[in-house]
Chain A
Amino acid sequence: MPKIKREDEKKDALQRLDDSVKALQRRFDEMFESMGGLGLRMQSLWDGDSCCLEALGEVQETEKEYIVTLDLPMVNKEDIEIIVMDDHLSVQARMREEIHFERWGTVQRQIRFQNMAKKVPLPKDADSDNIRASFREGLLEIRIAKSKRRKQVPIE
């Protein structure tokens, strides 16, 4: 199972990770809103400065949990880091070899990628103490349990 680290254990790493992920900040927030269509809309999926690609993904909601599936091709399990933040998960992975494109799009320069990252917002009912992950054939599956906390509202 890939490492799942807690926020207080990795403050520095979080800062670095957040800086990198910020450049890739996308509309993943829409993910849970558009759950019905399982659609994850994103715009630019790469950042040449940080050599980072944004991972594609899908989300599935069941009665008990959210299942996030992220596409992390060319990545080994031990090179994935999942960090639980207050309101989101940060996933960062190092690819086992660089992918380079000689003449990338309109910038027409050589560009290399060796990292993949994704920021996954946690829904309000997510139980951040109950998150599991597994990885197989380049696909990271993160299961986020739904909180069982319930509060009954009295009728006056």
Chain B
Amino acid sequence: MVVQETLFEIVELVEQPKGKKHAVIALPDAGLVGTIAGMHLVQALNLRLVGYIDTDVMPPVAVIHNRKARPPIQLYANDEFLLIVSEIPLPAEAMRPVSTAILQYLQELEPKSITALGGSALPPALRTQIETPEVYAVATTETAYDRAHDKKIKFLDEGIVAGSYAIILLEAQRQKIPITYIMAQSFLNIPDPGAAAETIKTLSKLTDISIPTDALIEGAEEVRVRVRDLMNQTTTSMQASGKAQEFQIPAFYS
């Protein structure tokens, strides 16, 4: 299937069946929580590359794997999951078109569920003191709300979400696409595998599919070394998208 618009192209190298899989969105963000979780899902669930998203608004970057050049936003899947990941941070100007592309694709695919994974940055001295980060959900529809509520997941009642996930949430809400955004307390500019592991545990609860996280916890320090450059680039991108606003309390706090 190829969906083409002026600004983006979604290419399936392996055709994805409609209505069969749980979709997961994992984009570079606070603490690289989504990205680290996505990397772990690929390994733990043996996901295979099944496609990619290309868009005019992304930087002219190709990721080379096994000698083949691919756009940095990629689709991985097995029989149960479809994962959308980006290997580079989304520039602020690309966030809206990329989010639109992802949502349009998911709307056509009609997955069993859609979960987005990310971090909710805490001041570093506070995050350091927390052994197990809390996880909060934001739901875009009643269906998505019920899905998390039934599993007793806490909701973010008041707060600010900035960056690409903010666009995805707003647009999904407008189009009534049920997305559950799972955010774990995390560092902002330091890779946070511990927070990533908590989002995966929550994803596991939401989908009723067991996903081991032991390897992620055990290899956390090595992961932190390996994703440093992406974290550094993402820091710059987050500055441009006002990510630090998440520390703030909304003016109309109720």
Residues of A at the B interface (CB closer than 8 Å) are 34, 36-42, 45, 53, 56-60, 67, 69, 71, 73-74, 99, 113, 136, 138-139, 141
Instruction: Check if A41 sits within 8 Å of B188, measured CB to CB.
Output: no
Q: Does B74 count as interface, using CB distance less than 8 angstroms?
A: no
Q: Does B244 count as interface, using CB distance less than 8 angstroms?
A: yes
Number of interface residues of B (CB under 8 A): 26
Residues of B at the A interface (CB closer than 8 Å) are 123-125, 128, 187-191, 220-222, 224-226, 228-229, 231-232, 235-236, 238-239, 243-244, 247
Instruction: Check if B189 sits within 8 Å of A57, measured CB to CB.
Output: yes
State which of B190, B221, B229 has its C-beta within 8 Å of the C-beta of A74. Answer: B221
Which residues of A have CB within 8 Å of B189? 38-40, 56-58
Taking A45-B229, A71-B190 as known contacts, 17 extra A-B pairs with beta carbons closer than 8 A to each other, sorted by chain A number, are: A38-B188, A38-B244, A39-B188, A39-B235, A41-B236, A42-B232, A53-B225, A56-B228, A56-B232, A58-B124, A58-B190, A67-B124, A67-B125, A71-B224, A74-B225, A99-B225, A113-B225
Q: How far is the CB of A130 from chain B (nearest CB, A)?
A: 17
Instruction: Check if A60 sits within 8 Å of B125, measured CB to CB.
Output: yes
Q: How far is the CB of A43 from chain B (nearest CB, A)?
A: 8
Instruction: Check if A45 sits within 8 Å of B244, measured CB to CB.
Output: no
State which of B124, B191, B232, B238 has its C-beta within 8 Å of the C-beta of A60. Answer: B124
Instruction: Check if A45 sits within 8 Å of B235, measured CB to CB.
Output: no
Which residues of A have CB within 8 Å of B244? 36-39
- 6 of the cross-chain contacts (CB-CB < 8 Å) are A38-B189, A56-B228, A57-B189, A60-B124, A69-B128, A73-B222
Instruction: Check if B188 sits within 8 Å of A58, measured CB to CB.
Output: yes
| Complex Cα–Cα for A41 and B229 (A) | 11
Of chain A, the residue at the smallest CB distance from B247 is A38
Which residues of B have CB within 8 Å of A113? 225
| Complex Cα–Cα for A99 and B226 (A) | 9
Q: How far is the CB of B186 from chain A (nearest CB, A)?
A: 11
Of chain B, the residue at the smallest CB distance from A58 is B124
